[in-house]
Structure 1
Amino acid sequence: MRRWLALLAAAITSLVLIALLVPMALLIRSVAENGAMSRATATAESVAVAAGSPALELTVEQARGGPFPVTVFLPGGGVLGATAARDDAVRLAATGRSVTAHAPGGRTVLSSALTPEGTVVVRVFVSDAELTRGVREAWLGLAALGLLLVALGIVLADRLALAITRPIGAMAQVSHRLAGGDLTARAALDGPPEVRSVALALNHLAGRIDDLLAAERESVADLSHRLRTPLTGLRLDAESLADPAEAARIAARIDELQRAVTRVITEARQRSNEQSCDAAEVVAERAAFWSVLAEDQGREMRLDLAKGPLPVRVGAAELGACVDALLGNVFAHTPEGVALAVRLTPGVRLVVADEGPGFPPQALERGRSGAGSTGLGLDIARRTAESAGGALELSPGPGATVTVTLSPALALS
């Protein structure tokens, strides 16, 4: 676009300059010719005034040093001044007329004066160089001015194009960032009003997308919190059935339902890598939620949580789901009354420990916990830790201890 605007400006400026400078150049030439002829005529008249007086020779001699050669044809056939032929123009001027005629290499101006001896003819020769004196310099000046104006037009057109293309290019970069998942990208309100209007609309669209995704994450998080506790209670009820076969069948169906719910929640909770939250606030909130069930089951729940803020590189919904998965495993796979502890250190390290039977070595593999569990809870915790730049560790018994290490964030988003 910049190139086309520059070419367009150059073409328009050139046409305008041609329409203006060509007539001006012809006018300058005409003015130079008229000026030279006027000066030659004045010289001829000044010499003709001295005709018939003793000062004629002195006047001709003085005119010899001027730009125009002067020749005086006397009545008796004599000639004063520059050598020149007595041509038809001279003979015509001898009849008492002022004549301007073309001559080889220029023009002649002839003026006559009547004296007692006869008619004196004064001939002044104007060379082509005198007729065009200063014209070439003036034309070169006009050409330089034209080129300067064309260059100035191209520069101004380029600046104008840049004022349009730069904001458009910046908006294209913002759109690519939005498409790549960076929902914090915003376009600068620069450029002409139309471009600023487009940038404002793009920013409004980006903000709307961000709001919709935030609402979706909140809905998914709420769904997660609503479903996990009933599923845990349903599993406990299934394990308390008297018929082991029926209990196993119902537990398998519950595991299948838990896998489906977790898969839906995980797929819906796709987030930007730029999210962060306060780990101290999220862990405290989820621990308070599960403490009600711990009290109902007669479990001692010890909390040792560092004071916040502890910003981490994971969203609040994702970290809450991780805590729910770890605590849900404790409640689902340890007998009622078994104590548990939740610790959060400034590291940031989240430790969930219980006094139950512990985990087998394959616990991190989904569906192979070996204790009736699908392993989904630990897998959720592992993926949450890895997405936040951390890791998950299991400690051997007695009891089970899960340590989730999270990567600190520079600031809360």
Structure 2
Amino acid sequence: MRRILLRYGVGMASAVLVAFLLPLALLARTQAHDRALDAAREDAQRIAALAGGATLDAPRLEAEVLAADEGARLTTVFLPDGSEIPEPTPRSDAVELALLGRAVTARTDGGIEMLVPVETAGGLAVVRTFVPDAELSAGVGRTWALLGGAGVLLLAATAFVGDRIAGRLARSAQDLSAVAERLGSGDLAARVTPSGPPEVASVGRVLNGLGARVSALLAAERELVADLSHRLRTPITALRLDVDLLDDPAERERMAAHVDELVKAVDAVVWAARHPTSGAPAARCDASAVVGDRGRFWGVLATDRGRPLRVDVAPAPLAVPVSATDLGAAVDVLVDNVFSHTPDGTGFALVVRAVPDGVEVAVEDDGPGLPAAPVVARGHSGAGSTGLGLDVARRTAEDAGGRLDVGRSAGGGARIALVLPAA
């Protein structure tokens, strides 16, 4: 950013300097040219006035001509009798034209000759003043050098000031970028010291307010979820006491297992809320073992509802980078969808198999299939529910680096699969 701003500033300054200095340079050359021609014209007119008297005073005229030839200019008088003062000079076409009575200014080798005809006692004479190119451009080089030096100094000053301003802007933008990256990575305590122009400083203040607001919202959410555990303790305890009063030992053991699963699920939610960035080692589990366990758990209810259940898991362990609790919860929400959104008696299957992408954990049913509307987005459901179940499964897959695939089963029903990378 700093280089871009500096280049932009120097480029704009260069354009302004060129637009300003180039006309000045051309004007200096034109003025030097006109100044030299004006001086030559004055010499020629003065000599012509002296030569046009009633009588020609040749010695005096020659003295005036020699006195006029200062610097590089050279003046010559072509007399009517064919002689020249002060010394013979070749006659050009411009001289012949001036002898016809016409004032001429013409370009010749090495400069410009200015010719003024004058009527003398003996006939028409011509006063010729030659101005060399060196005098036509006298002082132009020095003027151009001064203009160039001024341009270089102005450009250097522009670059210096522009670099300071660009550096200030770049530092402010870099500070904003660094704090934004820290906030994005989860460091909600990151703050920026507003600096730079008012607009950039305003962005810094807004970013600080955003970080504070997000921190407050997350803290409130964590406290709310943590408070959930205390609110659930009483009904869970009451449920456990009711289970202990059951007369059938098998039924009492089964219900006690369900209560234990509920307690573990609540504890897991509370712990995750209180430790969002705990830095714990990466979790992993055997997908075949987890799905097999959930199949036995749901098998009792499936038998009670008359739903055929098929559990097809790989015989060998298939490790995935997901905790057993999270994978079990994802499978539970998918199976719960089958019970909630398909008629009683509809069969379903739990499938675990190795695929080229890793490991696929799928729940298939023989029901009517999914609605045409999106069903995976959080808060959207095609059956009037909260729409959180499939979102839980999706987040479980994506947090592990996988994805959630939704399609149709071989029986025409729904097929929802978590495609997880192999651990």
Q: TM-score, structure 1 length as denominator?
A: 0.52
Partner of 2:26: 26
Q: Residues of 2 paired with 1:89 and 1:246: CA distance?
A: 133
Superposition deviation, residue 59 in structure 1: 2.0
Give, as a single letter, the amino acid of the residue that structure 2 aligns with 1:40: A
Partner of 1:267: 272
Partner of 1:134: 139
- Give the gaps of 5 or more residues in structure 2: 52-56, 245-249, 279-423
- Partner of 2:77, secondary structure, is strand
Which is further off, 165-174 or 123-132?
A: 165-174
- Partner of 1:43, secondary structure, is helix
Q: Residues of 1 paired with 2:42 and 2:185: CA distance?
A: 86
Asked if 1:166 corresponds to 2:163, the answer is: no
Q: Residues of 2 paired with 1:260 and 1:65: CA distance?
A: 111
Pick aligned residue for 1:111 from 113, 116, 119? 116
**Contact kept in structure 2, 1:106 and 1:126, CA below 8 Å:** yes
Pick aligned residue for 2:103 from 98, 101, 107? 98
- Give the gaps of 5 or more residues in structure 1: 240-244, 274-413
Asked if 1:211 corresponds to 2:216, the answer is: yes
**Contact kept in structure 2, 1:164 and 1:192, CA below 8 Å:** yes
Q: Residues of 1 paired with 2:169 and 2:152: CA distance?
A: 26
- Partner of 1:55, secondary structure, is helix
**Cα distance, 1:261–1:82 mapped onto 2, change above 3 Å:** farther
Q: Residues of 2 paired with 1:24 and 1:82: CA distance?
A: 41
Give, as a single letter, the amino acid of the residue that structure 2 aligns with 1:196: A
Superposition deviation, residue 270 in structure 1: 1.6
**Cα distance, 1:182–1:60 mapped onto 2, change above 3 Å:** same
Asked if 1:125 corresponds to 2:130, the answer is: yes
Once the two structures are superposed, residues 256-278 of structure 1 have per-residue CA deviations (whole angstroms, 9 ceiling, x without a partner) of: 666544433221102678xxxxx
**Contact kept in structure 2, 1:47 and 1:56, CA below 8 Å:** yes
Once the two structures are superposed, residues 87-116 of structure 1 have per-residue CA deviations (whole angstroms, 9 ceiling, x without a partner) of: 343344345543322221111122344444
- Partner of 2:128, secondary structure, is strand
Partner of 1:39: 39
Pick aligned residue for 1:67 from 56, 72, 76? 72
Over the aligned positions, Cα root-mean-square deviation in angstroms equals: 4.5
- Partner of 2:180, secondary structure, is helix
Q: Residues of 1 paired with 2:277 and 2:258: CA distance?
A: 33
Partner of 1:55: 60
Q: Residues of 2 paired with 1:46 and 1:20: CA distance?
A: 39
Superposition deviation, residue 125 in structure 1: 0.8
Once the two structures are superposed, residues 299-318 of structure 1 have per-residue CA deviations (whole angstroms, 9 ceiling, x without a partner) of: xxxxxxxxxxxxxxxxxxxx
Q: Residues of 2 paired with 1:80 and 1:20: CA distance?
A: 47
Q: Residues of 2 paired with 1:23 and 1:267: CA distance?
A: 74
- Partner of 1:84, secondary structure, is coil
Q: Residues of 2 paired with 1:249 and 1:95: CA distance?
A: 136
**Contact kept in structure 1, 2:76 and 2:87, CA below 8 Å:** yes
**Cα distance, 1:103–1:247 mapped onto 2, change above 3 Å:** closer
Q: Residues of 2 paired with 1:246 and 1:91: CA distance?
A: 138
Q: Residues of 1 paired with 2:24 and 2:153: CA distance?
A: 17
Pick aligned residue for 1:81 from 65, 77, 86? 86
Once the two structures are superposed, residues 354-376 of structure 1 have per-residue CA deviations (whole angstroms, 9 ceiling, x without a partner) of: xxxxxxxxxxxxxxxxxxxxxxx
Task: State how 1:234-313 maps to structure 2 within 5 Å.
Answer: 259-270=264-275
**Contact kept in structure 2, 1:6 and 1:155, CA below 8 Å:** no
Which structure has more relative contact order (CA 8 Å, sep 6+)? It is 1
State the identity %. 46
Q: Residues of 2 paired with 1:204 and 1:59: CA distance?
A: 91
Partner of 1:354: none
**Contact kept in structure 2, 1:43 and 1:124, CA below 8 Å:** yes
Q: Residues of 2 paired with 1:257 and 1:99: CA distance?
A: 116
Which is further off, 82-91 or 2-11?
A: 2-11
Superposition deviation, residue 174 in structure 1: 0.8
Give, as a single letter, the amino acid of the residue that structure 2 aligns with 1:36: A
Give, as a single letter, the amino acid of the residue that structure 1 aligns with 2:108: A
Give, as a single letter, the amino acid of the residue that structure 2 aligns with 1:45: Q
**Contact kept in structure 2, 1:70 and 1:82, CA below 8 Å:** no
**Contact kept in structure 2, 1:69 and 1:82, CA below 8 Å:** no
Give, as a single letter, the amino acid of the residue that structure 2 aligns with 1:212: L
Q: How many residues align?
A: 274
**Cα distance, 1:17–1:46 mapped onto 2, change above 3 Å:** same
Partner of 1:331: none
Superposition deviation, residue 150 in structure 1: 5.4
Superposition deviation, residue 145 in structure 1: 4.5
- Partner of 2:48, secondary structure, is helix
**Cα distance, 1:223–1:82 mapped onto 2, change above 3 Å:** farther
Give, as a single letter, the amino acid of the residue that structure 2 aligns with 1:39: A
**Cα distance, 1:41–1:219 mapped onto 2, change above 3 Å:** same
**Contact kept in structure 1, 2:102 and 2:117, CA below 8 Å:** yes
Q: Residues of 2 paired with 1:265 and 1:33: CA distance?
A: 93
- Partner of 1:107, secondary structure, is strand
Once the two structures are superposed, residues 17-57 of structure 1 have per-residue CA deviations (whole angstroms, 9 ceiling, x without a partner) of: 55554444333322221111001111222333443365323
Pick aligned residue for 1:201 from 206, 229, 238? 206
Give, as a single letter, the amino acid of the residue that structure 2 aligns with 1:68: R
**Contact kept in structure 2, 1:182 and 1:272, CA below 8 Å:** no
**Cα distance, 1:261–1:173 mapped onto 2, change above 3 Å:** same
Asked if 1:183 corresponds to 2:188, the answer is: yes
Give, as a single letter, the amino acid of the residue that structure 2 aligns with 1:185: A
